[in-house]
Structure 1
Amino acid sequence: MDPWILAPAFFIGALLYSSVGHGGASAYLAIMALAHAAPESMRPLALALNLVVAGVAALQYARAGFLDWRLLWPFVLGSVPLAYLGGLIDLPEFWYRSAIGLVLLYAAVSLWWGSIRADEAPAKAPPIPVAVAAGGVLGLAAGLTGVGGGIFLSPLLMLMNWARAKPTAAVSALFIWLNSLSGLLAQAERVPPILDELLWAAPAVLAGGLLGAWIGARRTPPRLLRRLLSVVLLVAAWKLLATAVAAWPTGG
């Protein structure tokens, strides 16, 4: 992977995603897919970068007073163990590329939807058993695909009216950080080969994450940037799904 090309791309992805409380794993996966990165390095690198950016975003939103621990803990209780389990599972190339493509497609639609939806009725937290069960499903999906799960949790919180926009971003950031750590622990043996990439990728996403989280927590989130990002993810999703079709196992 060429750091002179990918570092700026990672910076932009981190900036855009951290502005809405996300770690950016789906953006990093999209960038690496477009750069033809090895599939076995994509998941651990995306999770490691998620830890950097989601950690920054969580701190910024917590300092701004938006973190709701009572909303967060039931989702985390269900998600973290299953994120670890999902991280232990290696999908065949066809299924992995299909899963990532669908995740990116979902992220694109969610980002576009989030850019046009405004807060409406007062939010009401879900029953604890519902939140734990939902967290488990989201954690498993996150571990399987190498993301932190924020792209699943954020639209769920908003669509179900369980949280307003900035508390959603705050809760999602810490949810992502914990799930990313859990998933990365399951991928621990794959971390040493990506250390060289982390030396240039981590500073790039740290800089983008600091700027984006400050914009998101202290300023109005940039709707236009989210829409542009959704278009980029849509293109990457199309590419991954197309290559997944090419990797379809055939008999004979």
Structure 2
Amino acid sequence: MPGLGALFFLTALIYGAAGFGGGSTYNALLVLAGTDYRAVPVIALSCNILVTAISSWRFARRGHVEWRRIAPVLVLSIPFAWLGGRLAIAETAFVGILAASLLASGLLMLWQPHWREEAPRRAFSKWLEPVAGAALGFLAGLVGIGGGIFLAPLLYMLRWGPPKAIAGTCAVFILANSISGLAGQLAKGSGRTAGEALAAHWPLFPAVLAGGLIGSTLASGRLDPKYVRILTALLILYVAVRLSIRFYGEMIGNGG
């Protein structure tokens, strides 16, 4: 547990500095550590809430959160996060979806710094943000990620605003979806399993709280978000490869 706690601290620090919660990597680390996959989203989403609650407050305090503009993204993401959390899936499917999500998000994060962030806002359909929010919210609830690692590239494509505004928006988005997704996970009827998992993994929560505090402090200050995103992407891709290898092994084992 001390080793896992150190990894969670590092993850929270890096993700918090980018305005994210770290749920995707928490999930991967828990799966690789042999945690019951049914409890993995509950632990990851709880950690997400701790980290992004801090980030959201710090970004909002510094004026990097525009609440009225966030509303269209949240309007469908919150109920769909709850629906995703309610859906029960097999362990192999869970690991496969998580691995694919990590690979896609890591590649998008590496691509993201090359986009022209200072360009004028693009004109897209008014339904794009609610529909995208619904899809990302459902994924957030299903596998226990906040969805911010997918939302950030979309906001850059939309020329949403400066990097810190996008980071603040993602922090609020992840916080809302993590709370809703956690409620859906707990509504499955596996409250005892979830409670036992949370109790057994309690040292992870102060670890991510400390990491999130440090990371969000760096992010809301003068830290260049470009380099934070690159570091985050490399971390995501590393755990994605590890998880993909495990998924491949499970598929071969089931086939045999």
TM-score normalized by the length of structure 1: 0.91
The amino acid that maps onto 1:21 is G
Asked if 1:233 is matched to 2:236, the reply is yes
Number of residue pairs matched?
250
The amino acid that maps onto 2:50 is V
What residue number does 2:106 align with?
Answer: 108
Asked if 1:207 is matched to 2:210, the reply is yes
What residue number does 2:224 align with?
Answer: 221
Following superposition, the deviation at residue 35 of structure 1 comes to: 1.9
What residue number does 2:7 align with?
Answer: 9
Q: Label 1:192 to 1:227 Cα distance change in 2 as closer, same or farther (>3 A).
A: same
Deviates more, 1:239-248 or 1:72-81: 239-248
Structure 2, unpaired ranges of 5+: none
The amino acid that maps onto 1:72 is I
Deviations 1:196-232 (A, max 9, x none): 2452111111111111111111122364454344233
Structure 2 counterpart SS, 1:66: coil
Following superposition, the deviation at residue 119 of structure 1 comes to: 2.0
Deviates more, 1:26-35 or 1:111-120: 111-120
Q: Label 1:24 to 1:250 Cα distance change in 2 as closer, same or farther (>3 A).
A: closer
The amino acid that maps onto 1:215 is L
Following superposition, the deviation at residue 89 of structure 1 comes to: 1.1
RMSD value over aligned CA atoms? 2.1
What residue number does 1:24 align with?
Answer: 22
What residue number does 2:194 align with?
Answer: 191
Structure 1, unpaired ranges of 5+: none
Deviates more, 1:98-107 or 1:242-251: 242-251
The separation in 1 between residues aligned to 2:157 and 2:108, in whole angstroms, is 10
Q: Label 1:223 to 1:121 Cα distance change in 2 as closer, same or farther (>3 A).
A: closer
What residue number does 1:46 align with?
Answer: 44
Deviates more, 1:218-227 or 1:231-240: 218-227
The amino acid that maps onto 1:62 is A
Deviates more, 1:235-244 or 1:165-174: 235-244
The amino acid that maps onto 1:11 is F
Q: Label 1:197 to 1:205 Cα distance change in 2 as closer, same or farther (>3 A).
A: farther
What residue number does 1:85 align with?
Answer: 83
Deviations 1:162-210 (A, max 9, x none): 3331111111111111100011011122431223245211111111111
Match of 1:69 among 67, 70, 93: 67
The separation in 1 between residues aligned to 2:197 and 2:106, in whole angstroms, is 27
Deviations 1:9-57 (A, max 9, x none): 1111001101111111012112223322221121110000000001000
TM-score normalized by the length of structure 2: 0.89
